[in-house]
Structure 1
Amino acid sequence: MSNTSHYFQTALNKRREEGILRSLRPPTHGIDFYSNDYLGLARNAELQNILLQQITETPELLAGSTGSRLISGNSIEALTTEKLIADQHQYPSALLFQSGYNANLALLSALPNRHDIIIMDELVHRSVHDACRMSHATKLKFRHNDLDNLEEKLKKQKGHCYIAVESLYSMDGDLAPLQEIAALAEKYSASLLVDEAHAFGVFGNGLVCQQQLQDKVLATVVTYGKALGAHGAAILTNELIKDYLINFASPFIYSTSPQDWQWRMIKNNYSYLKSNDLSTQLMENIRTFRKQGLSTLSSESSPIQAVVIPDIMKLKNVQQVLLEKGFLTYAVYSPTVKPGTERLRICLHSFNTEKEIIELTQIIQHHI
């Protein structure tokens, strides 16, 4: 075995010994308390049939895009989808991406230059951290949702600052104090960037839109593989920033565009979301879960409820018992979260029943 292969094998063996080795498994059938399909749109038969009918009538939606959008891959479907998204979120413009990960890579690698400073919440999504590696800007972290610590960092900087946060955090399931962060950004002439991946759909068109902060948030990232039940993402911003990203964001410039059926699906699902009240039942299910008395880090209105179980063997056992009872949950280990904060990450959905939620919590309470 070469030295390089030995290094890789040693790293994998270490994770195996610690009980945190990741692996791909076949799909498992059961009661879903682990997916991001918060509103059930990914499994919605009506939406599937609408798209199927459109593809039957317009089979060219399935054609390959043939290139990046700057060469041969642009289409009327992409342009009209961007217009619809911008209008829905009350932003001047939108720019589509293959995924939220790519959108964050584009945003944080292209906008800040070597004289700028990126100040990110310490718990912001990994895509933001990876984007910062592509940037020449100085990178700083502030303590999670700590406004005093954020202001302390802002005060010390001489260059232009970009503040990067999520509106709803994917591992702790808590909300950012967006209005207060926006006020600090304004006070120190900083640019605020907000990732709304988990908030969009759960809270209407997202918390930036709900709180009418569009004029104070330079760019918002919304993703479509979660509550919207589709795939892809968009950066919502002004025309100047959109043009800049088209010219300088490598993940946009050098990626082949998805096929048109993906953009059509996003448009369909936006329309369905606008016409159907899907979040009322979700919020009722969240309230039912919270009433059961489990200790959690998460916001009382979040579909993500994190139950910290720092004993890894106990965490594995709880997840396995739940699986044997037909409940699908997700255990989160270090290094995804800090050592000592390992947790069972429970995702609630509009389609979960009260009986399922109560039984789930009873099993967890019995085994922790």
Structure 2
Amino acid sequence: MKLPQNLQQKLLLREEANALRVLPISKNNIDFSSNDYLGFAKNEDIFDATHQYLVDHNIKINGATGSRLISGNHDLYAVAENYISEFHHSEAALIFNSGYDANVGFFSAVPQRNDIILYDELCHASIRDGIQMSHAKSYKFHHNDYEDLERLLQKLTLANSHPPTIYIVTESVFSMDGDAPNMETLVSVSDKFKGLLVVDEAHALGVFGDKGEGLVQSHQLQNKIFARIMTYGKGLGCHGAAILGSASLKAYLVNFARSFIYTTGLSPHAVATILIAYQNLNSSAELQKLKDVISIFNQQKQLLGLKSMFVYSKSAIHSAIIPGNNKVKQIAAQLQEKGFEVKAILSPTVPEGQERLRFCLHSFNSEKEMQEVLTELSTLVFK
């Protein structure tokens, strides 16, 4: 059957704006695009250890067989969630099937009708989608702008005779810019207005902290946060996510988070991979390697005169702003032809005029690879 005309028109508009999304074909280029920051996704030791764990515990099940509330809550869940909560110094942890499911589940279920959500304007689509499903009122504040956040808090507090429950939402590393909030300032503002702080740590896990615990723990602020969302498809190189918080929050999510309740659970193999990946964070040399790679990349940007076009970042994500879908796609294609897998991020994913090349760094990227890709970039943008 033909696609309805109004849907076909939307595709044509995307095509005309040179913004049509298509599934990429792997070219085996040098990786500057994946979220596999520590190389865990292709780590043979983790693969073998996961298999051995399942063998040692006589777990020979391919699937969860149902939702966790029916038949899918296999014993490995409790083992993994206990390990995760201890690792992150949290009272409890609840595993979800993905970071998207975790954010949609949390924000659609926890904030209530008379509550208020204040979220950073650059928060991820999964957070925004969850907020849209919530009955709470929501307002965005300017990116990492705590004066704007405080202005909103003062306005909303004065406007309500009975202070509402206010959720303040941010990310510890923003996926498109790679920058991070000032966590101490954010906690201070939140405390001042008795807000409940929610932090998505998807791109900080495995990157910040002595053991890759994330940005919140690196500042020892975990006891000041109402909920943290940890995603495992990035630094841990596997799949799934967990929401960290109080035991009461966990019980509430089990009862009311629809993306948790109405979905088949993860397979034992998937949960075992999460557990083994966490255990590897405790001793992996890849953490320090990644920190060195980030430092070298920043130095090379400076040496080649590229610093001004990049968003400031100490994370594994570095974005060079190159306005215009056509221009940024052209430069990305030229870098790919040279053997470097660098992705163009187009509008409407980012605002028009903020199109960019996004470089994702990894512990396995060599200094030579970084020098070469940035030298090639400088040639393309300065010619």
Q: Give the alignment's TM-score, normalised by structure 1.
A: 0.96
Alignment deviations for residues 182-236 of structure 1 (CA, whole Å, 9 cap, x no partner): 1111110110000000001111201111111122100000011101111100000
Alignment deviations for residues 236-266 of structure 1 (CA, whole Å, 9 cap, x no partner): 0001111111111111111111111111111
Q: Name the counterpart of 1:263.
A: 271
Question: Quick one: which amino acid aligns to residue 189 of structure 1?
Answer: K
- State the distance in 2 between where 1:59 and 1:324 align: 47
Return the match for 2:338 from 316, 319, 325. Answer: 325
Tell me if structure 1 keeps the 8 A contact 2:324–2:352.
Answer: no
DSSP-derived class of the 1:12 partner: helix
Matches within 5 A, 1:1-368: 5-57=4-56, 60-157=59-156, 158=160, 159-203=164-208, 204-292=212-300, 293=302, 294-295=306-307, 296-368=309-381
Question: Quick one: which amino acid aligns to residue 177 of structure 1?
Answer: N
Tell me if structure 1 keeps the 8 A contact 2:325–2:347.
Answer: no
Tell me if structure 2 keeps the 8 A contact 1:168–1:175.
Answer: yes
1:160 Cα deviation from its structure 2 partner? 1.6
Tell me if structure 2 keeps the 8 A contact 1:332–1:342.
Answer: yes
Tell me if structure 2 keeps the 8 A contact 1:39–1:279.
Answer: yes
Question: Quick one: which amino acid aligns to residue 347 of structure 2?
Answer: S
Alignment deviations for residues 4-61 of structure 1 (CA, whole Å, 9 cap, x no partner): 7111111101111111100113322110000000011111111112223334555634
1:334 Cα deviation from its structure 2 partner? 0.9
- State the distance in 2 between where 1:94 and 1:54 align: 21
Question: Quick one: which amino acid aligns to residue 232 of structure 1?
Answer: G
1:316 Cα deviation from its structure 2 partner? 1.4
Question: Quick one: which amino acid aligns to residue 277 of structure 1?
Answer: A
Question: Quick one: which amino acid aligns to residue 73 of structure 1?
Answer: G
- State the distance in 2 between where 1:164 and 1:297 align: 25
Alignment deviations for residues 51-74 of structure 1 (CA, whole Å, 9 cap, x no partner): 233345556343321111111111
Structure 1 residues 61 and 26, CA gap change in structure 2 (3 angstroms): farther
DSSP-derived class of the 2:59 partner: helix
Structure 1 residues 96 and 147, CA gap change in structure 2 (3 angstroms): same
Which stretch has the larger CA shift, 308-317 or 343-352? 308-317
Tell me if structure 1 keeps the 8 A contact 2:180–2:313.
Answer: no
- State the distance in 2 between where 1:56 and 1:238 align: 33
1:300 Cα deviation from its structure 2 partner? 4.1
Which stretch has the larger CA shift, 75-84 or 281-290? 281-290
- State the distance in 1 between where 2:118 and 2:4 align: 37
Tell me if structure 2 keeps the 8 A contact 1:327–1:360.
Answer: yes
Question: Quick one: which amino acid aligns to residue 307 of structure 1?
Answer: A
Alignment deviations for residues 306-342 of structure 1 (CA, whole Å, 9 cap, x no partner): 0000033221121111111110011001111110000
Tell me if structure 2 keeps the 8 A contact 1:34–1:330.
Answer: yes
- State the distance in 1 between where 2:273 and 2:325 align: 40
- State the distance in 2 between where 1:156 and 1:244 align: 30
Q: Give the alignment's TM-score, normalised by structure 2.
A: 0.93
Q: Aligned-residue CA RMSD in angstroms?
A: 1.5
Question: Quick one: which amino acid aligns to residue 166 of structure 2?
Answer: C
Structure 1 residues 134 and 300, CA gap change in structure 2 (3 angstroms): closer
Tell me if structure 1 keeps the 8 A contact 2:229–2:243.
Answer: yes
DSSP-derived class of the 1:215 partner: helix
DSSP-derived class of the 2:95 partner: strand
- Of all paired residues, the percent bearing the same amino acid is 43
- Count of matched residue pairs: 367
Tell me if structure 1 keeps the 8 A contact 2:178–2:314.
Answer: no
- State the distance in 2 between where 1:143 and 1:333 align: 21
DSSP-derived class of the 2:365 partner: coil
- State the distance in 2 between where 1:196 and 1:143 align: 19
Structure 1 residues 6 and 223, CA gap change in structure 2 (3 angstroms): same
